[in-house]
Structure 1
Amino acid sequence: MITKKVPFYSLGYVTESLGRDLLSAFGGVLESNWFIRGPRSERFEGVFAKYCGAQFGVGTGNGLDALTLMLRASIELGYLKRGDEVIVPANTFIATVLAVCAAGLVPVLVDPDRETCNLDVSLLEGACSERTRAILAVHLYGRLADMPAICEFAKAKGLLVFEDAAQAHGAELDERRGSTGSPTETRDERLETKDERKVARSTAAAYSFYPTKNLGALGDGGMVVTDDAELARTVRMLGNYGSERKYVNKYVGVNSRLDEVQAAILLEKLPHLDGWNARRREIAARYCSEIKNPLVRVTPVPANPLSHVWHVFPVFCERRDELQSFLSARGVETLVHYPIPPHLQEAFTGASDSLLRHGVLPVAEELARTELSIPMGPGLGDDDVSRVIEALNEFV
């Protein structure tokens, strides 16, 4: 009889470990009577941008809005124009594709690399047309896409690069001549080498602060980070009804702003993010080395461990549904990310090339059919990790 389940992710661990601080942060907002576009959101924008190695951060209402406004601002500034094509990995949460469509651009879906599950750089050339103007890289599951290779290709083709970093809070590139730096360095010390951070290699990156993210709010929230001052200014205007000065509207904007409550909560959580990510890496290392079932495939730990924050730990099995039931019976909670790839969603069934363009996508469809996400998070104990590994290895 199962007496205790291994949770897929424990929201309670994070909130309980910071309980008093979170209550104090919320109380401070309540007492201030300032709930929108106040000092806390302004401070968090600056702190998180610096954490990412970027100059500017602009809070939004959610991650989808961050993606959409990042692209819309690029159109308003003339970097892109409506109808341009944007290369997007074919296995991603549909929000990535929705944002491209919402901005009036055309997603071009490209199959992923089977091992990393991220954009397959070798397929970029074949995906380009005379209308291709940008690449939107997705750091799926918390693993950075191959940004140096993507940016090198984009530079040669004259393309812009954007990032969907919704699952990759704290992931870092390794651009210090093969060294990740001393493990005793603080993040601020590592950031002294500005080009180490991935954001510096792209036009802008969009983050989500959905509650289950590595850095999550107590509701929805998002942010665009960039080194482009005009892009940041335009994103801010678009998210504030198209206005920089009250009642003066330059653009046809929307209402999408990070509120003071969420900013206050995120300010309290951010100092703990590196520690939480380090625990995720410890768990992932055990999974990768101790899961020995030939029926279950795991993605490898990258050569630079800092480039992966393991938002999700995926395993792949041709008998995915059987495996999920097997684990459930042993008290191990799991989820599937994502069972239907964007190009097979009803929303895009029969879509013309003017809305969505793609060829055959066998790897994306295989990953959708076989992926199963197992428990991951800083609240997972060593005994829980052992139970998950044992259960996976017992599946026959």
Structure 2
Amino acid sequence: MQFIDLKRQYAALKPAIDARIQRVLDHGQYIMGPEVAELEAALAAFTGRKHAITVASGTEALLIALMALGVQAGDEVITTPFTFVATAEVIVLLGATPVFVDIEPDTCNLDVRQVEARITPRTKAILPVSLYGQVPDMDELLALAARHGLPVVEDAAQSFGARYQGRPSGSFGAFGCTSFFPSKPLGCYGDGGALFTDDDALAQAAREIRVHGQSRRYHHSRLGVGGRMDTLQCAIVLAKLDRFAWELERRQTLGARYTALLSATGLPQTGQLGLPTVRPDRDCVWAQYTVRIPSTRGPGREAVQAALQAQGIPTAVHYPVPLHHQPAYAALCCPECCPESLRAGREVMSLPMGPDLTEEEQGRVVEALRGCLEEAHA
């Protein structure tokens, strides 16, 4: 069993993907070819944003967004420590300081109630992460940001296709940013990403920054990076878009089925297993289906992972060590802060997930997990 079965996905899309790739090979415009503009138009329509700007990766999307907003040395950006390192990495690369705010224990998203207390005169932006495929409390966060005159940048790398109160992920704040890393809900076959905005000036800044700050050829009006998304990768995402609505529906069906099957085992009721929560005013695209294995009520996560692996069932941990305990970032925050992030890092475990997971495979995962937890509890 694959953790995410990209080979199975490719088999279903092979004619469309191969044709798209061949078209690029035929016209030979590997940098900023026609597929780039075509994909940007499709992404803008999908998110309902005025502008979509493709870039080299999700990390570049975050970096370019912050650069376009003028984040620089001495500034602070509020974010979560329970995320992939890129979220804070781009802040530090610009000479600014990430200010970490803890997560909600049930969704693992930024706890918006704790944000205002961390705002200072140096705060330049707020960067929430739509973790595991679910958008955080954006209405509350945007209202708070507006009161303080702060832009919000949504890190939607794991939630492209999700909706919050009817609005798509990526459509919130000054910028929405996403990743097309292969394992993401909408992925290419390498690195890629995109930014979304309704602001003409910010869009122009982002477009210039991604080509080394050029406003026209060899005229560099601002600092920039080499941040373009390759034409071939854009072509692959275009081919995948034709199946994406089905994949989103399938992900939500499988996510709900995981929750129902695992609830029926009785393990959540005994405290041996924690299930993810989805708020009633939003959905989740299940970039990961992530459960909690409390170490105080059973064998512990590592033992569970080993038992599942012995049965051919892969798992993953997103993320074992929060950023404020990572060596490169430890000095930015006291070790005792963000206790929910630390607890999540000890307990979370992601199960195989993806639109091409079968019900039979899902049943195997549930039965194996039930078996090893019940055996340990006996």
Structure-2-length-normalised TM-score: 0.92
Deviation at 1:198, TM superposition (A): 4.7
Aligned to 1:246: 217
Q: Which stretch has the larger CA shift, 198-207 or 50-59?
A: 198-207
Alignment match of 2:342 (pick from 340, 355, 365) = 365
Q: Which stretch has the larger CA shift, 26-35 or 121-130?
A: 121-130
Deviation at 1:349, TM superposition (A): 3.2
Aligned to 1:187: none
Alignment match of 1:55 (pick from 50, 62, 68) = 50
CA–CA distance in structure 1, aligned partners of residues 173 and 134 of structure 2:
16
Contact 1:90 1:109 in 2 (8 A): yes
Classify the secondary structure of the residue corresponding to 1:133: strand
CA–CA distance in structure 2, aligned partners of residues 358 and 51 of structure 1:
41
Q: Does residue 307 of structure 2 align to residue 312 of structure 1?
A: no
Q: Does residue 161 of structure 2 align to residue 170 of structure 1?
A: yes
Aligned to 1:288: 259
Deviation at 1:345, TM superposition (A): 1.0
One-letter amino acid of the structure 1 residue matched with residue 53 of structure 2: V
Contact 2:322 2:345 in 1 (8 A): yes
Q: Does residue 14 of structure 2 align to residue 19 of structure 1?
A: yes
Q: Which runs of 5+ in 2 are unaligned?
A: none
Residue pairs, 1:196-345, within 5 angstroms: 196-291=167-262, 292-293=266-267, 294=270, 295-304=272-281, 307-317=283-293, 318=295, 319-345=300-326
CA–CA distance in structure 1, aligned partners of residues 248 and 207 of structure 2:
29
CA–CA distance in structure 2, aligned partners of residues 297 and 47 of structure 1:
38
One-letter amino acid of the structure 2 residue matched with residue 113 of structure 1: E
Q: Does residue 151 of structure 2 align to residue 160 of structure 1?
A: yes
Alignment match of 2:63 (pick from 63, 68, 71) = 68
Deviation at 1:347, TM superposition (A): 1.2
Deviation at 1:289, TM superposition (A): 1.8
Measured at CA, do residues 60 and 130 of structure 1 come closer, stay the same or move farther in structure 2, by a change above 3 Å? Answer: same
Alignment match of 1:84 (pick from 75, 85, 90) = 75
CA–CA distance in structure 1, aligned partners of residues 55 and 108 of structure 2:
28
Aligned to 2:92: 101
Q: Does residue 354 of structure 2 align to residue 377 of structure 1?
A: yes
Alignment match of 1:141 (pick from 132, 136, 139) = 132
CA–CA distance in structure 2, aligned partners of residues 148 and 15 of structure 1:
37
Deviation at 1:50, TM superposition (A): 1.4
Aligned to 1:389: 366
Contact 1:106 1:357 in 2 (8 A): no
One-letter amino acid of the structure 2 residue matched with residue 364 of structure 1: S
One-letter amino acid of the structure 1 residue matched with residue 11 of structure 2: E
One-letter amino acid of the structure 1 residue matched with residue 228 of structure 2: R
Give the structure, 1 or 2, with the largest relative contact order (CA under 8 Å, sep 6 or more).
1
CA–CA distance in structure 2, aligned partners of residues 201 and 19 of structure 1:
34
Classify the secondary structure of the residue corresponding to 2:163: coil
One-letter amino acid of the structure 2 residue matched with residue 98 of structure 1: E
Contact 1:109 1:358 in 2 (8 A): no
Aligned to 1:192: none
CA–CA distance in structure 2, aligned partners of residues 32 and 249 of structure 1:
28
Q: Which runs of 5+ in 1 are unaligned?
A: 1-5, 176-195
Identity rate of aligned residues, in percent?
34
Deviation at 1:8, TM superposition (A): 1.1
CA–CA distance in structure 2, aligned partners of residues 111 and 263 of structure 1:
35
Deviation at 1:170, TM superposition (A): 0.6
Aligned to 1:112: 103
Deviation at 1:279, TM superposition (A): 0.9
One-letter amino acid of the structure 2 residue matched with residue 373 of structure 1: S
CA–CA distance in structure 1, aligned partners of residues 278 and 133 of structure 2:
12
CA–CA distance in structure 1, aligned partners of residues 136 and 278 of structure 2:
13
Classify the secondary structure of the residue corresponding to 2:337: coil
Instruction: Tell me the alpha carbon deviations over residues 77-116 of structure 1, each in whole angstroms, 9 at most, x when there is no partner.
Output: xxx5542211101201110000111233221000000001
Contact 1:107 1:357 in 2 (8 A): no
One-letter amino acid of the structure 1 residue matched with residue 24 of structure 2: V
Contact 2:175 2:197 in 1 (8 A): yes
Contact 2:39 2:238 in 1 (8 A): yes
Instruction: Tell me the alpha carbon deviations over residues 289-319 of structure 1, each in whole angstroms, 9 at most, x when there is no partner.
Output: 22131311111233145x3110001111121
Deviation at 1:342, TM superposition (A): 0.8
Q: Does residue 323 of structure 2 align to residue 346 of structure 1?
A: no
Q: Which stretch has the larger CA shift, 369-378 or 322-331?
A: 322-331
Alignment match of 2:40 (pick from 39, 45, 58) = 45
Deviation at 1:117, TM superposition (A): 0.4
Deviation at 1:199, TM superposition (A): 4.2
Measured at CA, do residues 200 and 168 of structure 1 come closer, stay the same or move farther in structure 2, by a change above 3 Å? Answer: closer
Structure-1-length-normalised TM-score: 0.88
Two-structure CA RMSD over aligned residues (Å): 1.6
